[in-house]
Chain A
Amino acid sequence: MNKLNEKAAALLQEGTVKLIIGYEQGTEKPRPLFCTVPEDASRLIFNDQCKNNLAVYLTKKEIIGDEKIAVIATYYVMKSIVQLDKENQINKDNLIVLTVDSDGEVIEFNDYQEMEKYADEHVPAPDPKVVAMLEKIDNMSREERWAYWKSELTKCIRCYACRAACPLCYCNRCITEVNCPQWIDPWPTPLSNMEWQINRVMHMSGRCVGCGACAEACPLDLPIGLLTKKMAMDINAEFGSSDDGNVLSTFNPSDKENFIH
């Protein structure tokens, strides 16, 4: 039994927490696991194949209930928790954040500052495939970019797995479900699919932590992670890193104007 399993079993045994959200081995790759009794803890694993962003469950009342829980966090889960906290979506008193370092040691964070510090010291390397793809698209002509995205987004079946997998897509009523007026047609067409992705990205601007869960979730493997990635890069370039979360809810009088004539 490794240290993670021991720690988790102890937390449940002592009654410190009612639920631990972590990862177990799934059919082909790790998947989320919900431990409620110490026996479950032996199934917990933690490695760099753990891709699901578990923070997505932290805004689901029906899952987390009113009692204390623990989550076993990857870098991106930690970043998501920080962002959710900025948006007042997390009850800090009821959440213990654990992680496992490269030596297999379990780390329990005492506060969010500690967690953020740890996260900032353990930033994963960017996916070279994503970087290469972004560069490729940037070098295309406008017509080529349009053709590329139209062809990719034509395949979208609008299952909203991208939305469901994102910890920051927690609206009770999504813009796609607003029907007075119906902003986005709910059936798939290249245009409505594109409108949906534009909305998703715009609503994520400055909030996205770059975990790539949206792209990972897409059953058709559409390159939608590039959109949020690109947006985050643009925002960083235009406004620098912003501390208060949503860059669109604030402004700077000296924001650039070169496109306004």
Chain B
Amino acid sequence: MERFIIQTNQLNSWLKKIIESVPRVLAPVNDGTKTEFRQIKTVDEVAYDTLTTTSSVKAAAFPESETLFSYRKEGKNTELTQVSPEAYPETVVWRARPCDAIGFAPLSGIFNWDYKDSLYNARHAKLTVIAFSCNTCDDYCFCTSVDGGPGSTKGSDILVTQLNKEEALVEILTEKGTKMKDLCPDCFKEADQNIDKESVLAKIPVKFSKEQVHDFLSKAFDSPVWKQQSARCLGCGACAYVCPTCACFDIQEEAHGSRGRRLRCWDSCGFSMFTLQTSGNNPRPTQATRWRQRILHKFSYMPDRIGEYGCTGCGRCSRACPVDMNIKEHLISIASISHE
């Protein structure tokens, strides 16, 4: 890992170079009362005044909907065409948060634990993540309880930490990161190895350990906690759609006469129809069983099967929830049961 210092007033020069040379640059952009990742064309569009975006950055590698292949029927024959990976744009995410970047590890786990998903992999390979450390946090944040942190470098190609008004520390973590740095070599100078970024980071207290949650879950399938916690859950998909690691999807067909395409689009385990079988049998018939699936999937099944937890502690699901299903609060209470 290489460490550099950039003058704050040089950040925009660097970003400008990136916008000039990369076809798609995504960054947080203010939009009404919310902030979302959008493609930017100029440096002024970036919103630096917000903690996080409503949605996570996962759509950069796992979009809301994407074509799996298209088909064309001619007489009785059918011809299939695949999307060439060249169609996926080289993408830079500017000012992601560490809790965004770290989410690509579980996503990559899901898409590669057995069969390899070439579509996700092709998009991910073309993605460079430039994250900015957090110097503030809010009540929903709990990254430090799930092994992340306001200055965590995991999943980022570059991590920028604002040290003071004038200077920022730039940690180049991967080759992709080096390429981005090289777009503006004059902007950077070697950093003093003694620089300690920890002191400027937000202080986010550790509220529980994910292992505690994991241990409780191994024997919690029939626990009353699921019904208690999920009583107010409305069964919408907001939490899953804004989550940086939720990857459940639906496969759908778009048909126009003899041509069409098969595509996948986001889906959520919170929807009552998610597991409904044609026969009418539903293995997860109540919201309590669906909430249990959500938590178990993230904190038990995923670590057991792919060695990654499905939660980055970003708190987006809680902020997006219409009825304040605060996952931090729920996890703390689960971890405390495991203590008893």
Contact = CB atoms under 8 A, between A and B. Distances in A.
Interface of A: 26-29, 31-34, 52, 56-57, 60, 62-63, 155, 157-161, 163-165, 173, 177, 182, 185-189, 213, 216-217, 219-221
B117 interface: no
B273 interface: yes
B283 interface: no
B324 A217 contact: no
A30 to B, nearest CB: 8
B36 A216 contact: no
B265 A186 contact: yes
Contact of A34 (B232, B238, B320): B232
Given A62-B287, A159-B238, A160-B237, A216 B65 contact: no
Interface stretch (B27-35, B80-88, B158-166, B173-181): B27-35
B248 interface: no
Nearest to A213: B322
B322 A165 contact: yes
Interface of B: 31-34, 36, 54-55, 64-65, 139-140, 231-232, 234-238, 240-242, 250, 252, 254, 263, 265-266, 268, 271, 273, 286-288, 318-324, 326, 329
Contacts of B319: 219
Given A158-B237, A159-B320, 17 more contacts: A34-B231, A34-B232, A62-B286, A62-B288, A155-B36, A160-B271, A161-B234, A164-B236, A186-B252, A187-B266, A188-B64, A219-B54, A219-B241, A219-B320, A219-B322, A220-B34, A220-B36
Nearest to B286: A62
Contacts of B242: 157, 219
Nearest to A51: B322
A157 B322 contact: no
Contacts of A56: 234
Contacts of A173: 273
Given A159-B241, A221-B33, A187 B65 contact: yes
